[in-house]
Amino acid sequence: MTLLTLKNANKIIEKAIGKARELNMAPLTVVVLDTAGHIKAMQREDGATMIRQQIATAKAWGAVSMGISSRSLAGVAEHRPNFMNALIGMADGKIMPVPGGVLIRNAENNIIGSVGISGDVSDQDERCAIAGIESAGFVAGV
């Protein structure tokens, strides 16, 4: 089984930021978490605003802790707001149910971590997360 290494995590970040520069996006903060929700790697581009690390981490943490993307969590929030509010409370506010938190799956379809990005609009953040994950040879779980 392929695991998420520091080298892989850094490649995901490098490619995600490269995609953002290609698209002329706002400065990003990119966080890569392992399956236990611990930070494997994180980078904050020059000019990214100060709360972006917490937002990116919450997107990634929600995805890996629930086993679905933060985009999917947004759908849950829309259809089951009481459940989502309870979940966010139980998680001490560590979940951000908006696009930008994407699961990292290996070739065997096992979850090996997640990526959270914040800095631009959520759909663009997610686009960069997917680009980073796929460039490292993994499958993006959106």
Report yes or no on 1 lying in a domain.
no
Residue at 32 is within a domain: yes
> DSSP secondary structure string, 87-128?
HHHHTTT----SS-EEEEE-TT--EEEEEEEESS-HHHHHHH
What average pLDDT does the chain have? 96
pLDDT at 1 (0 to 100): 61
Task: With a cut of 70, list the residues of the chain below it in pLDDT.
Answer: 1
Question: In CATH, what number is assigned to the domain containing residue 89?
Answer: 3.30.450.150
Q: Is the model's pTM score more than 0.75?
A: yes
Do the strands 101-105 and 139-141 form a parallel or antiparallel pair, or are they unpaired? Answer: antiparallel
pLDDT tens across 62-101, in order? 999 999 999 999 999 999 999 999 999 999 999 999 999 9
Nearest to 71 by CA among 31, 103, 32, 98: 98
82 lies in a domain? yes
Instruction: Give the number of domains in the chain.
Output: 1
Could you tell me the residue range of the domain that residue 98 belongs to?
Answer: 6-141
